[in-house]
Amino acid sequence: MPKVLISDSLSPAAVAIFRDRGVEVDVKTDLKPEELKAIIGQYDGLAIRSATKVTKEVLAAATNLKVVGRAGIGVDNVDVPAATQRGVVVMNTPFGNSITTAEHAIAMMFALARQLPDANASTHAGKWEKSRFMGVELFGKTLGLIGCGNIGSIVADRAIGLKMKVIAYDPFLSPERALDLGVEKVELDGLFARADFLTLHTPLTDQTRNIIDAAAIAKMKPGVRIINCARGGLIVEDDLLAALKSGHVAGAALDVFAVEPAKESAFFGLPNVVCTPHLGAATSEAQENVALQVAEQISDFLLSGAVTNALNMPSVTAEEAPKLKPYLALVEQLGGFAGQITETRLKAVNITYEGDVAQLNTRPITSVILAGLLRPLLDSVNMVSAPVVAREYDIDVSETKRETCEDYHTLVRLTVTTERQTRSIAGSLFAGTKPRIVELEGISLEAEVARNMLFVRNEDKPGFIGRLGTVLGDAGINIANFNLGRRPEGGSALALVSVDSPVAEEIVKTVQGLPSVVQAKALNF
């Protein structure tokens, strides 16, 4: 039974989902880093919100951890590169609190435009300062969105309903999507120059950190109003503070801060600043939604292999997972075989998908084949980290898909280019579920992968099989299956021998020394 730790406060309904799905769950909140490190090795999954810090040190102690699920969008409290390196899938729930956060941004924009917090406090104090709180309309104003993804697009929809003109900067926003949303896609400097109100809806990354600084503010219209319900690190707070005091920025509405919880801030007490304590996702509906989603996602992954909303692995739906399972077993064998007989640096990898497999989601299949290929060459490579490792080692990875296949209903061919040569291996599924190697270096054969195998490339000359059998017999190694393939008579031949026990290195050297043998390699799966 998989075991999950919930280390931040989640809805009791999330706990019920885990238990109803057959996942053992412990709830231990407010753990100190050392306390988390001491127990995390017991768990397959970790469910968190923003309080738990999943650091490199925590991940190093998480020897059984397979998945971290963040109830919410932001994962800046998770060391995603370290998780990827250790093969831990990192998921979030980007849709569960989108509406709530978007509504809060709109509410903050209204509060800022009409000075609602100060007007409320003044009126409660028995004052009637009607002339003091002269606001501005949103109608007809230009709203600039930095980020137009899930939340930004909802804000755009609400703002268009308020008859605002909406412009957006987002490198991932296509012209077609912008047209569907009714927004104008612009460059960042153009947005700064035109926006009356500016709101941020982007994750905190190396590219977006400090995106609003003194230089950016200098490009903005005098009197601009800035709303941030995304991440505090997007704004250089000292630069914004100076612009607020000078009047270049007419006002700011901040739900997030560079350091949280923000018990002290130079923004507090300023008459043109509205502050809330990171309430973007703080509605009962959103808290329930993200908790339920993260419980479902973690359970699906641990029980069926389905991957939803992962940041470091291709998505696999619950419907796709059982269809992919036999292919994952096949390609792990293909990759492992190629990796074990590769002796020089990898330069390029091509995976060709033919027939039925070409109709499937091949991204996770490619990740597994890369993991199988790289694992014999590099320690601790897995399907999560393999694509990243391949990029780090400058290995060119490509895919080819063909809907038809001449000899089989489905075929996966792995072609590996090293510093010295190019090799290929192909496999298929027999009876829909049984992996078989069907081609090696252009030579047809049929072999079932066994735990212990011996691969031999030799010149096709009489007496080889007898000599090989004698060597193995003298070493007390029993042959389970002997699979042969060859080129036209007198050319080269291949042997894949399944044996009942590992073949020691000295036996491999003896085989290598036999007449006509070109290469011999012990394989383990």
pLDDT computed for residue 98 by the predictor: 87
Q: Which amino acid is at 325?
A: K
Fold of 3-95+285-304: Rossmann fold (3.40.50)
Judge whether residue 136 has pLDDT over 70: yes
Under the phi-then-psi rule, with left for phi > 0, alpha for psi from -120 to 50, and beta for the rest, what region is 66? alpha
| DSSP states along 349-398 | EEEEEEEGGGGS--HHHHHHHHHHHHTTTSTT--TTTHHHHHHHTT-EEE
How do residues 271-315 score in pLDDT, each as one tens digit?
999 999 999 988 888 888 899 999 999 999 999 889 988 988 888
What rounded mean pLDDT belongs to the chain?
93
Peptide bond into 261 cis (omega under 30): yes
* 230-252 mean pLDDT: 96
Fold of 315-449: 60s Ribosomal Protein L30; Chain: A; (3.30.1330)
Active-site residues, by number, are 231, 260, 278
* 169-196 mean pLDDT: 95
pLDDT computed for residue 94 by the predictor: 80
Query: What are the boundaries of each domain within the chain?
Result: 3-95+285-304, 116-271, 315-449, 452-524
pLDDT computed for residue 285 by the predictor: 87
* 148-163 mean pLDDT: 95
pLDDT computed for residue 48 by the predictor: 96
pLDDT computed for residue 490 by the predictor: 65
* 40-61 mean pLDDT: 96
pTM exceeds cut of 0.85: no
Which secondary-structure segment (H or E) carries 507? helix 505-512
pLDDT computed for residue 172 by the predictor: 87
Nearest to 146 by CA among 179, 173, 169, 171: 169
* 58-77 mean pLDDT: 92
In this structure, how many other beta carbons lie within 10 angstroms of the beta carbon of residue 313? Answer: 23
Fold of 452-524: Alpha-Beta Plaits (3.30.70)
How do residues 480-504 score in pLDDT, each as one tens digit?
999 999 887 667 899 999 999 999 9
Residue the block writes with tokens 């074990």: 340
Q: Which CATH superfamily is domain 116-271 in?
A: NAD(P)-binding Rossmann-like Domain (3.40.50.720)
Task: Check for a shared fold between 3-95+285-304 and 116-271.
Answer: yes
Nearest to 71 by CA among 44, 102, 48: 48
